[in-house]
Amino acid sequence: METIYTLKKQDLKPWLESLAQDSDVYVPARDRDNSLVDFFNLSEIKDDLGFGQGQEKRYVLDLVEKTKRSPKQVMYPHWEDLLDFSYEKDPENIEDEKIKLSVSQEAPNSIIFGLKSCDCQAIAKMDAVFGQGIVKDPYYMKRRENTVLISLGCDTVFEDCFCTAVGGSPYGFDHTDLGLMEDGDHYVVFVYTKKGNALAQASNSYLAKADAKDGQDYKSRMQERGRKASEKMSSMWPKTAVEDMAEHLNKAFDASQWKKVSQQCISCGACTFVCPTCYCFDIRDDKDNRQGKRYRCWDFCTSYLYTLEASGHNPREDIQKRYKNKVNCKYNYNFQRQGHLYCVGCGRCVEVCPVDMDIRQIVAAVLKSKQP
Amino acid sequence: MDKTNIVESKHVMAKENPYLPSVAVVKKTIKETPNIISVQVMLEDESERDSFSFKPGQVAQLSVFGSGESTFVINSPASDPSMLQFTVMKVGVNTTAISNLSPGERVGIRAPLGNWFPCQAWEGKKILIVGGGIGLAPLRPLIFHILENRKKYKDLTLLYAAKTPDDRCYKADLKQWEASKDINLAQTIDTACHGWDEEVGLCPHVLEKMKPSPEGTVAVTCGPPIMIKFTLEVLKKLNFDSSHVYTTLERRMKCGVGKCGRCNIGEKFVCVDGPVFSLEELEKIPEPFI
């Protein structure tokens, strides 16, 4: 879509606050201990984080820093009820106890502000898992349909970033609804989807339409900035031949390097927790007396319990097998299933790992071992 | 296994919410061995029951509400989908809850899930079935299918292995099959015991001794992982072609519809690409399937 708007920087917060009247608006903010930046619900931010007067600086709306976690939990919460059940006695026949099942699902209108292009790419990959295949996932899809994504182009390249190595780019706005470019005392707002268009039109007291000439200028500047940031990142971490990764990893499946590169892993799951594309879950029941619920919660494949069967048999009993599965899932298996890598190069797993494992180095080491 | 199989499978997919189970009533429980029981259940809703169908090899998520869901193959004849039987070894929380069920109690069923044995493609062939312990369960509806369509297949042979005579499942079936001309039944137990006059020895060894001809034969095996591993090795040694050898696999499944990521073997999901695989397919996956 061609329409381009501008937004004064001073209007950003009032705009988001106005949007928060009808939607849950998630924005990057610093937590109470000032220790991390994460996505928080704007209307709950004061209660949750103890924001008082004069603590506005905790909002990180310019988002030069990277959020610790990805925004996936907005559409795919850590825990989510799938159904409620209750055992109910039949009044006609007291011996007979029936089961009543019900589903109540919340899918509030949500807006996520401050995603980076890697986050948007990741959401597109989540959409493929939950929205395609033999059946759609109604819980995810309902939340997703009600969510609008507003992202911000990246000019700052962090040490852990490597989106260009896995097919992304710092100004890759292709899966966002609205894309923002910081420009002096204002933001340039690019509209990409119908959802984005509707939001922009409803925000006419904050957004001003750019005329055609300015629009053209903004567009070429955005492309230029994207090119620059991409170049900078590519120089730090060279582009991988994405299409060949699956084949190379298949060939390297039995490489002896796996043992060495995976032995550090302590199976803590932190990488999965912050990863924007990790989507695995467990389904569990919780019962209190005669009623309860079935819920799902995130799960992680480096855990011993992940594949442990009730019989005691475990197809991936050692960390080498589990870590190899994780790497292959991201760069091989999902490429074969979905046609794209399940890594967007956000670098969160590299940053969070308590034992300093770097998936980039690991993939490189394994692939190198198989090269002639 | 071509993927069109999966698309045809309707019941769960027809539901808007694939996680919402159908309620079923326990009709009967059968003690198979000291730690294995079979439960027979019937879908509570009549219209659901009437429209339900499955194919030999397909699985279900069976749940006792409050304990959780686990995956089991539907092991009753597919020709009568009004009553569904599951066989469970009491090893964990959910299998214990299932083992404790009594007639009249309610369970949850999400079914049918996964693919099935390509029975039609096997018509005109000899069928060799090798089962071990509770691994006879997924093979049982296949055996019934062949017996019900006996003329469409050539020789049907079942080699069934168990630790002891007591550890054999479906003893009533075995007795019938023993007397039947439609099926050649061989049974073996791990170590000799009083009153046992059939084979003694581990399943792969007995199979090797039997020397079944690979000519025009499809071999299907299921059992404990270690048994599958060595049985497949023996079949290869006997010159069975990988495309004519099938097995049905198990992983710790959760969603059953290819979302939760739990049951992958390499790039395949056991819940949608399996549980039935040909050895040819499995040999293409770098990750070991046992």
What confidence tens digit (pLDDT) does each residue in B212-237 have?
999 999 999 999 999 999 999 999 99
When CB atoms are compared, the residue of B13, B89, B254 closest to A135 is B13
* Predicted local distance difference test score (pLDDT) of residue B11: 46
Bridge-based pairing of strands A4-8 and B276-278 is: unpaired
Cβ of B21 within 8 Å of Cβ of A336? The answer is no
Is B268 inside any structural domain? no
Give the pLDDT band (50/70/90) at residue B190: very high
Query: What are B274's two structure tokens?
Result: 């399996």
Asked if A89 has any chain B CB less than 8 Å from its own CB, the reply is: no
Does B125 lie in the same domain as B38? no
Residues in chain A: 372
Does B194 lie in the same domain as B84? no
Write out chain A residues lying below 8 Å of B258, CB-based: 133-135
Is B277 inside any structural domain? no
Of B93, B113, B133, the residue that ends a domain is B113
* Predicted local distance difference test score (pLDDT) of residue B8: 44
Does B138 lie in the same domain as B60? no
Q: Which residue has the higher pLDDT, A49 or B260?
A: B260
Does B212 lie in the same domain as B98? no
Asked if B258 has any chain A CB less than 8 Å from its own CB, the reply is: yes
Interface of B with A in 81-110 (CB under 8 A): 89, 91-92, 94-95, 104-106, 108
Asked if A90 has any chain B CB less than 8 Å from its own CB, the reply is: no
To the nearest whole Å, the CA of A371 is away from the closest chain B CA by 18
Cβ of B260 within 8 Å of Cβ of A103? The answer is no
Q: Any alpha helices (H) in B75-152, and if so which ranges?
A: 93-99, 140-148
Does B134 lie in the same domain as B53? no
Cβ of B17 within 8 Å of Cβ of A250? The answer is no
Would you say A111 and A148 are in contact if contact means Cβ atoms under 8 Å apart? yes
Domain that holds residue B153: 119-248
Q: What is the C-alpha separation between A133 and B13, in angstroms, rounded?
A: 10
CATH number of the domain that residue B54 is part of: 2.40.30.10
* Predicted local distance difference test score (pLDDT) of residue A36: 72
SS3 A308: coil
* Predicted local distance difference test score (pLDDT) of residue A65: 73
Q: What is the C-alpha separation between B115 and B242, in angstroms, rounded?
A: 19
- Of B51, B41, B44, give the one whose Cα is nearest residue B23: B44
Is B282 inside any structural domain? no
Q: What is the C-alpha separation between B40 and B28, in angstroms, rounded?
A: 5
Residue with tokens 């019937």: B42
- Phi, psi for residue B131 in degrees, rounded to 5: -125, 150
Is B271 inside any structural domain? no
- Of A224, A214, A61, give the one whose Cα is nearest residue A152: A61
Does B87 lie in the same domain as B24? yes
To the nearest whole Å, the CA of B267 is away from the closest chain A CA by 4
To the nearest whole Å, the CA of B148 is away from the closest chain A CA by 31
Sheet (strand A79-89) strand order: A97-102, A79-89, A291-298, A281-288
What confidence tens digit (pLDDT) does each residue in B2-13 have?
433 444 444 455
Does B205 lie in the same domain as B105? no
Three-state SS sequence of A314-364: CCCCCHHHHHHHHHHHHHHHHHHHHCCCCCCCCCHHHHHCCCCCCHHHHHH
* Predicted local distance difference test score (pLDDT) of residue A44: 73
Would you say B160 and B171 are in contact if contact means Cβ atoms under 8 Å apart? no
* Predicted local distance difference test score (pLDDT) of residue A33: 66
Write out chain A residues lying below 8 Å of B261, CB-based: 279-281, 299, 301, 329
Asked if A204 has any chain B CB less than 8 Å from its own CB, the reply is: no
Cβ of A306 within 8 Å of Cβ of B69? The answer is no
* Predicted local distance difference test score (pLDDT) of residue A34: 66
Q: What is the CA radius of gyration of chain A?
A: 23
Q: By percentage, how much of chain B surpasses pLDDT 70?
A: 95
* Predicted local distance difference test score (pLDDT) of residue A364: 86
List CB contacts of A364: < 8 A, sequence separation 6 or more. Answer: none
Write out chain A residues lying below 8 Å of B253, CB-based: none
Please list the pLDDT of chain A residue by residue as tens digits (372 residues): 478 999 999 999 899 989 999 999 999 887 766 667 888 888 776 655 555 555 555 667 766 677 888 999 999 999 999 999 999 988 888 888 999 999 988 899 999 999 999 999 999 999 999 999 999 999 999 999 999 999 999 988 888 889 998 889 999 998 999 999 999 999 999 999 999 999 999 999 999 999 989 999 999 999 999 999 998 888 877 667 777 888 889 999 999 989 999 999 999 999 999 999 999 999 999 999 899 999 999 999 999 999 999 888 999 999 999 999 999 999 999 999 988 899 999 999 999 999 999 998 898 888 887 654
To the nearest whole Å, the CA of A80 is away from the closest chain B CA by 12
Is B72 inside any structural domain? yes
Q: Where are the domains of chain A?
A: 1-76+108-236, 240-372
CATH number of the domain that residue B146 is part of: 3.40.50.80
* Predicted local distance difference test score (pLDDT) of residue B39: 98
State the total domains in chain B.
Answer: 2
Asked if B14 has any chain A CB less than 8 Å from its own CB, the reply is: no
Of B59, B87, B113, the residue that ends a domain is B113
